[in-house]
Chains A and B, each alone.
Chain A
């Protein structure tokens, strides 16, 4: 035991000596939380909109003003004819063009009917959908204002909406769980796999293997410091999201921390498994960074809901551990539900941890080749 503690101490010294790595270890989650919180959002704001006004009357002027003053849009330019549309799109600043037909205002006031078209840049489908939705809503609003109080009579159903869990529709409710999930698995898998392959590559593994320490102790000793560091990382992220966004943990914090430990453990065993199949650090880094990063971001339900994907991806994403942890963390943190709601996911994570451990033990070579 004393030997083992000495070994753990050596590993800690290795890590703490390299203050730059340590800084980045905590810098990554901090930067991510801040980027997701303040820099990027799924919603549109100031999207460039160009107007092709073939009517040029008071009504089109008013409607254009109403659209551009909504905050969602910014007028990028006025177009003169249809040929300009393609040019405007190709320059990239214009995301949609609104075309008012000839005599738009006259038709609306005399016949009560007129038409406009919205041409959106489909190369960004999400922005395009939002733009057409928002513009249509603004135009409908406009007609409602025109018709005045008479309209009220024709509203037979009055729906009311409650945005549950996230009443102010903040995007960080989705991002914070995602960031924790992403950061933990990448950092854990990366660090364990690299630190073990490093010993292999430099031949110092041999030194460790001939020492009286058992292989299990070597691996445990290597993994222990990262377990503790990652756990501190979880606390940092939770603390930050509470301080910066005021996002509290609704459910049991003890349960959340316990589940995080399980997830960290799973990620570490994944890292060990990667290290047993890679000969050198480059390979380990390649697998754990390039191999894991995009699938973790895209197939875990972090940004893109799995239920909207084609059916096969429901099965493909089942082998992605982050998928389960995101569900767990959303349940505890945001919905405030208890263990009864997440026992299945927890079991899957435990099974994965055991599987990775088993595979690593089988693959781990005590002798050098």
Chain B
């Protein structure tokens, strides 16, 4: 035990002797959280419309003013030329072109259907679909207005109505910061732990200082533990800092048990650090390690469900995620923090993380060779 403590002390000294790293492991997460968390939103507002109104009747003008009055849309251009409008779309000066052909108003008053075309920039398919749905909604409302104002347009039809009330629990205003803060926090903790722990180990190999440890009676598990503990502590401190920022800067509530979150994060960090040290036994140089780490991290992060709904992934991808520690902590963090899930709600994730942590650590200890 004493040996481990001494080794841990050595690691801490080495980490904090490097002025840049010792500041960066706490500074970079804080700065990135402060800058990145408020930036991210999928919320659509201010969809810019270019309108081609060739009709110029009260009906078409009514629709345009209805659109101007809505919170989602802003009419940024009005033109009569289609090529002008599509140029605006190409230059990203508008998101949707709404083309009202002449005869629109006449068709409505004579009881025919008034036709209009919307051209949506669909490179980002999900926001294209949403903005089209909103546009369709406004047009539908306008349709109702027309009927209400002038019954002669069409006979009154009593149609059954289902009123829908939407409510959002845990985050009533759909504040994206609630969603992104736990996610970004997981990424930062992962990146720092995974990258630094492994680099640290490979560095000893690369510059040869590992030989000095190898010739001492220090046992394999002593050495691995001593390499893990400092980064485990740093990771937890980063997590704590992130949560404080969430509370102070963004006023994000913490519904669940903080102890439970740190407990889960500790198991997660052991798993990640175990994997880092395991990978480091395969790498001879820091450059090599860095590439493997980069590769793993990108895959872990993208597959973890940080930006995209987890359940939409095909089955094979969800199966692959069984060995992705980041996916588990991503879920745990959001559930505990925002919904107040208890230990029994996240037991499956905790078991899986424990298994991963054990396996990776055992692999790391057994792969590490004291003899060349």
Contacts and interface: CB of A to CB of B under 8 A. Distances in A.
A144 B120 CA distance: 26
B124 A125 contact: no
B30 interface: no
A119 B164 CA distance: 10
A281 B286 contact: yes
A40 B345 CA distance: 25
Contact of A156 (B114, B155, B294): B114
Contacts, number: 376
Nearest to A100: B162
A202 B287 CA distance: 13
Interface stretch (B127-135, B221-229, B363-371): B127-135
Interface string B115-132: 111111111111111101
B24 interface: yes
B160 A108 contact: yes
A334 to B, nearest CB: 6
A153 B155 contact: yes
Given A47-B311, A160-B118, A173 B162 contact: no
B338 A123 contact: yes
Interface stretch (B3-11, B142-150, B211-219, B259-267): B142-150
Interface string B333-347: 011001111100110
A299 B35 CA distance: 10
A299 B39 contact: yes
Name the interface size band of chain B: 35 or more
A159 B116 contact: yes
Given A124-B179, A133-B130, A150-B157, A40 B313 contact: yes
A287 to B, nearest CB: 8
Given A90-B345, A92-B345, A113 B160 contact: yes
A148 to B, nearest CB: 9
B30 to A, nearest CB: 13
Contact of A125 (B126, B176, B342): B176
Given A122-B172, A157-B114, A282-B196, A113 B163 contact: yes
A169 B121 CA distance: 10
B312 A159 contact: no
A293 B340 CA distance: 30
A307 B20 CA distance: 35
Contacts of A45: 309, 311-312
Given A128-B174, A158-B114, A43 B312 contact: yes
B295 A289 contact: no
Contact of A294 (B36, B125, B207, B331): B36
B191 interface: yes
Contacts of A74: 311
B311 A46 contact: yes
Given A36-B302, A164-B120, A124 B295 contact: no
B123 A118 contact: no
A20 B294 CA distance: 13
Given A117-B167, A289-B191, A162 B42 contact: no
A263 to B, nearest CB: 19
Nearest to A99: B165
B168 A120 contact: yes
Contacts of B178: 122-123, 125
Nearest to B37: A298
B121 A120 contact: no
A90 B287 contact: no
B175 interface: yes
Interface centre among B108, B308, B309, B342 (most CB of A within 10 A): B309
A42 B302 contact: no
Interface residues of A, number: 124
Interface in B299-350: 299, 302-303, 305, 307-309, 311-314, 317, 320, 331, 334-335, 338-342, 345-346
Given A113-B160, A124-B179, A169 B128 contact: yes
A341 to B, nearest CB: 6
Interface in A271-301: 278-283, 285-287, 289-291, 293-295, 298-299
B45 interface: yes
B43 A89 contact: no
A48 B311 contact: yes
B339 to A, nearest CB: 5
A307 B46 contact: yes
Interface stretch (A27-35, A217-225, A233-241): A27-35
Contact of B286 (A115, A194, A307): A194
A303 interface: yes
Interface of B: 18, 20-21, 24, 28, 32, 35-36, 38-46, 63, 89-92, 108, 113-130, 132-133, 135-136, 139, 142-143, 146-147, 153-155, 157-172, 174-176, 178-179, 184, 187-188, 191-192, 195-196, 199-200, 203, 207, 285-288, 290-292, 294-295, 297-299, 302-303, 305, 307-309, 311-314, 317, 320, 331, 334-335, 338-342, 345-346
29 contacts: A20-B291, A21-B287, A24-B295, A32-B302, A40-B308, A41-B308, A42-B307, A42-B308, A116-B164, A123-B170, A123-B171, A123-B338, A157-B116, A158-B115, A162-B119, A169-B122, A169-B125, A169-B128, A171-B125, A195-B287, A282-B196, A283-B20, A283-B24, A290-B191, A295-B36, A305-B124, A308-B41, A310-B39, A341-B91
Interface of A: 18, 20-21, 24-25, 27-28, 31-32, 35-36, 38-48, 74, 85-86, 89-92, 95, 108-109, 112-130, 132-133, 135-137, 139-140, 142-144, 146-147, 150-151, 153-167, 169-171, 173-174, 186, 190, 194-195, 198, 202, 278-283, 285-287, 289-291, 293-295, 298-299, 303-305, 307-310, 313, 316, 327, 330-331, 334-335, 337, 341
